[in-house]
Structure formats: C-alpha cells, structure tokens
A and B are shown apart, each in its own frame.
Chain A
Amino acid sequence: MSEHIAPTRTPEFEARLKKRYAAERRFRRLGLAAIVFSVAVLVYLLGTMTLNGIGGFQRAELEVPIDFTQAGISADPATMASDGAVQSLQGQGLPEVVQFFAEQSLGDEAAEQLGAQAWRDVADAIAADPSILDRQETFWLPASASLASGYAGEGSAEMQALAQQLDEAGKIDKNFDTGFFARSDATNPQQAGIWGALKGSFLTMIVTLLLAFPIGVLAALYLEEYAPKNRWTDLIELSINNLAAVPSIIFGLLGLAVFLTLFPNLRSAPVIGGMTLALMTMPVIVIAGRNAIKAVPPSIRDGALAIGASPVQVVFHHVLPLALPGILTGTIIGMARALGETAPLLMIGMRAFVASPPDSFTSPATVLPMQIFLWSDEIDRGFVERTSAAIIVLLLFLLLMNGLAIYLRNKFEKKW
C-alpha cells in the first residue's frame, strides 16, 4: 500500500517540520541546561563550603596527661568560683606545669608546638571541677597553627615530619572543637571562634527588628488605610520604593555621615549597626506589609465600621491581626537579608578586631558576615577552614529563617 501524502506534506514540508521539531528540542534542552547550571553552581558552592568547613569545626589537638598530684597546685572552691580563677592558677605556675608534662609525654620539640594558650583549657577544666587536682588527668590541648597545618599535610617539611611522628604515636588527633561556638576572634586559627560575632549579630538584629518592624508596619498601615491621595503620599511612596532599590553600601555612607557624627563614641557598636540596617530593612517590611494589608477583604472593614467601630479600631482590631502573618513573613525575609549584609557595616567601622564578645548594645562588636570577611583576608590555611565553618553557620541561620517564613506563609495563607 503506497503511502498517501496530503498536498501540504511535501518532502520539503517534512524536512522543515523536522528542523522545527529539532529546534524545539534544542530550545527545550537549553532551558533545562540553564536550570541545571544554576542548580549545579549552588550545589558546587554549598559542596565546597561544606567540605572546607567540616575541618573548621575541628582542630588539631595534642594528648597531654597531667599528674596533678605532683604539680603542687592548689585551688580552693571560693577562688575557683570567682572571676579570678584563671589568674590565680596562672600565678601558681600552671602554664609551666602544663609545659612540663607536655615535654614529658611528647618530647621537647613537640611540646614547643603546644598552643601558647593551651594551659587556659586546663585552667578552665580545673575551675569547673577542682577535684581533678587530686588525680591524673589526660587533656587534649590545641596544637600550634604551624603544627596543625603540618598535620594537614601542608606547611614546612619539619612540621609535617613531626606531625607524622606524633600521629604514629597516637598523640595528635583532630577533635570536634566545641570551643568554636564559645570563643571569639583570635589571631591564631586554632584559638578562633564565632561566639563574639554571633552575639554581635544577635544584638544588631535586635536593634534592627525593634526599629524596622514597628516603623515599617505603622507606615504600611498609614499608606494603605488612611493616606489621602495627594502629592505628599506619592512622595512617601516614591521614596519607599526608591529606598528598597538603593545599594546597601549607600546606607553605610548615610550611617557614617549621620549616625557617627551624632554619636561619635558609638563607633562599631551594635546599636549603630542596627540603626543602619533598620533603615535598609524598613522599606522591605513596608512593601510586604502593604501587600498583606491589601489582601484583607474590604468586607471585614465594612462589617466593623457598620457596627460602630472607629477607623482606628477597624485597623487595629480587625485588619492588622489578619494581615500580621503576611507582615511577619516579609519581616523575616527582610531580617534574613539584614543578617547576611556586610557592606553598610563595613562603612561604620564594624570591621575591627574584637577579641571579646560584646556585653551591651554600645560596646564594640562585629557580626557574623563581617567575621567571614575578616577571616577571608587571612592567608593561613587554618583560617580558610574556619571561614567556611562560619559560612556554614551563617547559611544554616538563613535557611532556618527562610524556612520559617515559608512555613508561616503556608500555614496562614488564606483565600477569602
């Protein structure tokens, strides 16, 4: 049976159709490739950070058994409970004791590579439990940065050899470093931690939230519910939309020129950082808030007005509670952006080396992204790992916040 060919389905037509279908397939694959590429970059980025960062949560430590019965160190519970515990132990020669036992068990050469601050870990352990002074105790103490890099297979040849020798004796190991979450910035990667930056971030975020949230919500309420349609309202609206698009570093310039001129004593304090970030976050909250308020159906307002509520009561008793989940979602997203922001804080001096966690809103502080930036400038291999570890912590916080926002959105999403 011969194939019937309709008048239009000429061979040329078939060829063209084939070409068009091929183009279609190519186009579709191109689209898929674009997405695969974006996802691949994300996976690659997260992958490198995780691989690098896992090492950052650990540190190379040396095994040092200390026999306190020979050490002649005394610790009465009252001193140990006070702030002066570490000083008291230092005065009694604890650093030398630690050094002595390190030489005993590791040999002179390796004992020199014990971190200079290693005895502090011992002091902390004694302060926490003075009864260990009556027995022998084995400590894992931080190695020096050069030995640590030798253990990682980098750095000078002698250090690598020494590390290998210690490794064979089972006296060096990489342990999970809980202190990474409890210490602050340090010049030595083995001693560096993120608690100071984390606390600075918390304090800064509290200030940002306390300023941006009320101002943003109130402004959104005014613009959406009460504002008359006139030139002033247009001006307010225009400036809010523009502020949302201004590069973040410009807010840093504003903070530098205005806030630091008004409060010169508060350089690099969380309160100034928080104020600067609040100006940046406020437009985001206003825009999200207006959308949430707009979504509340007019019948609710009419109902409330009909039974005699005043316009202010309508908004604060009815509209605001219904719009709040939407506003909160927008707020969390805005705060997540503020949490990851670095550039404006760079301008107002939050880049200083701060070795102790800030104790108030007015003491010098740094924040987590800034800590990442500061560490990224260090060439030491140990800091590369620490930086990646800090990035993992930051990304986890951001994921948590965004997850919360998505959860809130899904839970409270209403269709009227």
Chain B
Amino acid sequence: MSPTILLLLALGLGLAGWLAARARAWTFRKASPDGRLASLPSYHAWYVALWIILPVLVFVGAWSAIAPGLVTQSVLASPAADQLPAFGFQRQTILNEARAVATGASQAVFNPLAKEFVEPYRQALSFYNWIGIAATLVIAFLGGAWSFLRLKPDFAARTRVERIVMAILLGASLVAILTTIGIFVSLIFETLRFFGMVNPLDFLFGTHWGPDPMSNPNNPDSSRYGAIPLFWGTLFIGAIIAMIVAIPLGLMSAVYLTQYANPRLRAWIKPTLEILAGVPTVVYGYFAALTIAPAIRDFAISLGASNPSSESALAAGLVMGVMIIPFVSSMADDSIAAVPQAMRDGSLAMGATTNETIRRVLVPAALPGIVAGVMLAISRAIGETMIVVMAASTAANLSANPLDSMTTVTVQIVAMLTGEGSFDHPATLSAFALGFVLFMVTLGLNFIALRVVKRFREAYE
C-alpha cells in the first residue's frame, strides 16, 4: 500500500476523531450546570485527533521503510527462489522486473525467470498491504479510544494539547541535529570502510590520482588513490583563480555602492547583483563550458600553446569568481555599513578624500568582517559542483598553469558515484572520503569565519 493512502486514511480517522470528540465536549458543556468546561471543546477535539494522527504517522514512516524488505524476504522464501542466480546485480534486476509487473508499473517482463516471481510478489504485496492497513486501523483505534475515554468536563485538554505541540516543536528543531548526525555518520562510516582498503596516508599525501573502478576491489592499488592533485585543483580553481576575480570586483562593487552611488542607481544595481547570485549553478556551468572555455582555448592558441585543453582551470575559475562576486559584495557591504559613521565623518573632516577614507579608515576597520566574508566565499567555491563538473576536466593534474586541465574534489565525487562501479569498490567509497574532507574543510572555514565576525562585532559595542 502506498504511504500516501495510509496517510490519507490517518487524516480521515483523525478528522472523525476530531468531530466525535468535539461533539462529546459539547454534550459535556450542555450537561454541566454553569455551561463551562476546563478547556474549550476544540481542544478536546484536537487532543483526540493528535492522539490518532501522530502514532499513525510514526507507524507509516517506519512501515514504509520496513515493508519492502519484508515483501522481498517473503518472495525469496517462495519455492521459485532456488532458481535465482546468486550473483547480486542480476538477481536484483530479475526481482525488480517482477515487482514492477506486480505493482502494475510495467506491462510484461523481459526475463522469463522473472515471470515466476510476479505471482509471489503480488501475493506478498497484497498480504503486507492488508497488514499495513489493519495495523493503521488498530493503532488509530487504540489511540482514539484511549484519548476519547479520558475526556471529562474537568479534563485539562488544552494543557495536554499544548504539551504535545511543544514536543512537536522540539522534534522539528531536532531535525537539524539529526541531519548533521546523519551526514557525519554516513560519511564517517563509508570513509572508514575506504580507509580499511586504502591507507589514509597514501590518500592524504599521495600525488597520483587514478582510481580504476574495474580493478579487483579486494586488492586496490593504494598508490592510485593520492588525493593531493584533487586538493590542489580545488584550491587553485576555487580559492585562487575564483578569488582573484571575486575579491577585487566584489569589494570594489560594495565600496562603490555604499560610498559613491546615488540611491537611485543603488536601488537598481543591488537587485541586479542579486539576480547574478540567483542564477543556478548549472547555468553558470553551461555558460563556462559553451562560451568561456572555447574562448580561453583560442586565447591559449594565440599565446602559442601547442595543444591547449578545452577544459581549463581558468574557465571554471573565472566563471566561479563571477558567481561569487555578489556574495563577497554583500558581505563587504554589511561589514562596511557596520563601521560607525563617526569614524568616516572624522576622517573626512580632517580633509581626507573619500578614497583615502575608504582605504585608510573604513576598510581596515571592516577588515575582520571582510576576511570572514572571503572565507565563507572560499568555502562556497570549493564546495561548488556544477560549474567544475561541466567546465573542468576529470584528469587529475598537479600543475600551476591555469590553462592546464585540472580536476577538483567535487568533480571526482560526482565521477566516482555516477560511474558503473559497484558500491563496495574502493573507487566508489573514495567519493565518501573526499566528501568527508570537503565537509570538514568547509565546516572549519565557516567556523573560523563566524568566530572572526563575532570578535569584530564586539569592537564597537
């Protein structure tokens, strides 16, 4: 049974409970001598409805994760299962085909063997569907009956409802922690599996990157997993080329907008820069690959390069820099605006020109904020995926020439996980190790940036 139908069932039952409980509360109110209850009838109604809906929601969530496994197990327990090939991938394909027919998603099977499983699948699916519906009904009934029986004229339904609401609010905010833990655990878990096959020192300090997803997974060649070229490529594209573009342009835009531009120009330019920030990265990537990269190759040829790559670090870095400009400029804007007006006025009163005031007073005073903004910009640039996937290459290259092709951590994560390799292969698992490094580095940069900002803000208070 699809979870959607179970959820609709739960909502319907909840509504029924809501109406019944409210009617019950109204009868209490009529019967009571002074026409007063400890809580309003709608709170009684909500109390019962929540007691029906919440347990069912929890059950449906768990059930939709468990049920497919149970179905597969009961299919595998059928006599036909002995004929299944032991090999994982083929076995899975046959089962998937049979399941697709049984659920009505496809008309017929290609593999004759799969036909034998359609009927067991159909039976198992309908069996577990009924179990799901029955369990939903039982849970809803139990929750509803229990809460309904507690309704009394002096029952403090509002307090109970509010307690449940608070629990829901707390639960919602815990999702953030759960996500963080989820990221951490899934990355660590797979990374440790990777490090069980490849020596972490080889990974962190090796200079040759060339995993072979088709090699024997049990005996990986550790020397092919040196990630230094990837780290260098990421740093060169994201932290050097992109920042050479983004920092001066972003900073100068912010300075011009806050100190020179008249309000009407500012009212137009700010949203325009925001558009630049809102363009999806896949569009920037396409722009880089289609327009900028060929232009740079032609430029390299005119410089006399013999065999320039069409996927240069420069193309990806330039476009990424443009993407980051609005980010840097808005961070710089904020921190310049935070400098007290008195400092600016004082400098101007001493006869300094505007540009001297900016360079000698405003920028130094705003420097911690600007530095923090730059760090956030770097962390965003090294985590950026689509631009480099589309405009940088997959060839790991340890070079300082911006016209060379280079690859980055994110490109390799995509390349390793969208390839054909199996999930237990070190080449696939290396993506998680790369993701872990990326996660830690961006987290570190953000953490430092926030610290710097906090310190700086205290200076003028």
Residues of A near any B CB (own CB < 8 A)? 20-21, 23-24, 27-28, 30-35, 37-39, 41-42, 45, 48-49, 214-216, 218-219, 221-223, 226-227, 235-236, 239-243, 245-251, 253-254, 256-258, 262-265, 279, 282-283, 286, 310-312, 336-337, 339-343, 346-347, 351, 361-363, 369-370, 372-373, 376, 384, 387, 391, 394-395, 398-399, 402, 406
Contacts and interface: CB of A to CB of B under 8 A. Distances in A.
A250 B253 contact: no
B54 to A, nearest CB: 14
Given A38-B249, A48-B290, A395-B279, 18 more contacts: A27-B359, A35-B261, A45-B283, A45-B284, A48-B291, A219-B173, A219-B176, A221-B169, A222-B172, A245-B376, A253-B417, A312-B165, A340-B280, A340-B281, A343-B414, A346-B414, A351-B418, A372-B283
B341 interface: no
B166 A312 contact: yes
A286 to B, nearest CB: 7
B385 A222 contact: no
Nearest to A267: B96
A343 B380 CA distance: 14
A226 B354 CA distance: 47
A236 B174 contact: yes
Contact of A283 (B176, B289, B443): B176
B169 A219 contact: yes
B353 to A, nearest CB: 4
B21 interface: no
A24 B280 contact: no
B339 to A, nearest CB: 17
A171 to B, nearest CB: 32
B410 interface: yes
B77 interface: no
A340 B275 CA distance: 13
A31 B329 CA distance: 12
A252 B274 CA distance: 26
Interface string B359-372: 10000000000000
A202 to B, nearest CB: 16
Contact of A376 (B2, B269, B285, B376): B285
Interface string B246-286: 00111111011101110000000101111110111111111
B442 A245 contact: yes
Contacts of A253: 183, 186-187, 413, 417, 431-432, 435
A155 B457 CA distance: 62
Nearest to B446: A245
16 contacts: A23-B353, A35-B253, A38-B322, A39-B269, A49-B283, A218-B172, A219-B172, A245-B376, A249-B383, A254-B179, A312-B161, A340-B281, A343-B414, A372-B283, A376-B390, A384-B290
Nearest to B410: A249
A312 B167 CA distance: 12
A30 B414 CA distance: 39
B322 A41 contact: yes
Given A28-B260, A218-B168, A391-B286, A257 B186 contact: yes
B281 to A, nearest CB: 7
Nearest to A32: B256
B162 interface: yes
Contacts of B340: none
B438 interface: yes
B99 interface: yes
B141 interface: no
Contact of A263 (B64, B190, B253): B64
B116 interface: no
B253 A254 contact: no
B158 to A, nearest CB: 7
Contact of A34 (B183, B249, B291, B385): B249
Contacts of A373: 282, 285, 386, 389-390
Contacts of B166: 222, 226, 312
A373 B418 CA distance: 14
A133 B138 CA distance: 59
B173 A222 contact: yes
Interface in B413-461: 413-414, 417-418, 431-432, 435, 438-439, 442-443, 446-447, 450
B410 A282 contact: no
B257 to A, nearest CB: 7
Contacts of A30: 252
A263 B177 CA distance: 22
B26 interface: no
B311 to A, nearest CB: 13
Given A31-B253, A223-B173, A249-B413, A24 B353 contact: yes
Contacts of B438: 247, 249-250
B128 interface: no
B204 interface: no
Contact of A310 (B64, B158, B177, B385): B158
B282 A372 contact: yes
A146 to B, nearest CB: 22
Contacts of A48: 287, 290-291
B149 interface: no
A405 to B, nearest CB: 10
A369 B280 contact: yes
Contact of A239 (B170, B180, B272): B180
A341 B280 contact: yes
B105 interface: yes
Contact of B355 (A28, A341, A387, A394): A28
Contacts of A311: 162
B198 interface: no
A214 B172 contact: yes
Nearest to B92: A264
A89 B436 CA distance: 57
